[in-house]
Amino acid sequence: MENIEMNRKSVLLLQEWDPFNFGAESYDTETADVVAALQGIDDPSELAKVIQTVYEHSFEQWIPFENCVSIAYKLIAVKFEAKCII
């Protein structure tokens, strides 16, 4: 899987996640920030902290860390699949 495909799958996962039920198209900036962070992060907890910070900063709403960890694991799995690590 190419990096472009990994990014596309990651964007779709984040859009489906929709943590505040605003609709899939409401998180373009946050999605871009998280996908960019995913490039350099392999640890789900570290990625979850980034996710939590990015979304809270934009929407001034708190997301439980467990929810962020859950999506972070899915994103890391997509990344590892792209790198053929699995």
Distance CA 51, CA 57 (A): 10
Task: Residue 21: give its domain's CATH number.
Answer: 1.10.340.20
**Is the CB of residue 61 less than 8 Å from the CB of residue 27?**
no
2, pLDDT greater than 80: no
Using 50, 70 and 90 to split pLDDT, how confident is the model at 83? Answer: confident
pLDDT value of position 85: 57
In this predicted model, what pLDDT tens digit does every residue of 29-75 receive, in sequence order? 999 999 999 999 999 999 999 999 999 999 999 999 999 999 999 99
Owning domain of residue 41: 3-82
The total of structural domains in the chain comes to: 1
Please name which of 77, 79, 48 lies closest in space to residue 64, comparing C-alpha atoms: 48
How far apart are alpha carbons 62 and 29 in whole angstroms?
17
* 3-16 tens-digit pLDDT: 888 999 999 999 99
